[in-house]
Amino acid sequence: MHEMSLMASIFDILTRHLEDYPGVTVKKVTLRIGSLTNAVPEALEFCFSAFAQGTVVEGAQLEIIQVPIKIKCRECQQESEPVEFHFRCPGCGSLAVDVTQGRELALESMEVE
Partner 1 sequence: MEIAIKTNVLATNDQLAAQNKDIFHRAGITALNIMGSPGAGKTTLLERTLERLKGQLRVGVIEGDIYTAKDAERIEAHGVPVYQINTGGACHLDAQMVQKALPHFNLAQLDLMVIENVGNLVCPVEFSLGEEYKVVVLSIIEGDDKPLKYPLIFKESTAAVLNKMDLLDFCDVNLVNLKRDILSINPEIKIFEVSSRQQTGLEQWVEWLHTIGKKSG
- Residues from 43 through 82 that contact partner 1 (CB under 8 A): none
92 lies in the binding site for Zn ion (CB under 5 A): yes
Q: x/- string (CB under 5 A) for Zn ion, residues 51-80? A: ----------------------x-xx-x--
Please answer whether residues 68 and 81 qualify as being in contact, where contact means their C-beta atoms are separated by less than 8 angstroms.
yes
The strand ranges marked E within 1-113 are 26-34, 61-67, 70-73, 79-80, 97-101, 105-112
Helices and strands, counts by H and E, the chain: 2, 6
4 lies in the binding site for Zn ion (CB under 5 A): no
d(CA 108, CA 25): 17
88 lies in the binding site for partner 1 (CB under 8 A): yes
- Name the site residues for partner 1 (rule: CB under 8 A): 1-2, 4-6, 9-10, 12-14, 17, 21, 24, 31, 36-39, 84-88, 95-96, 99, 105-113
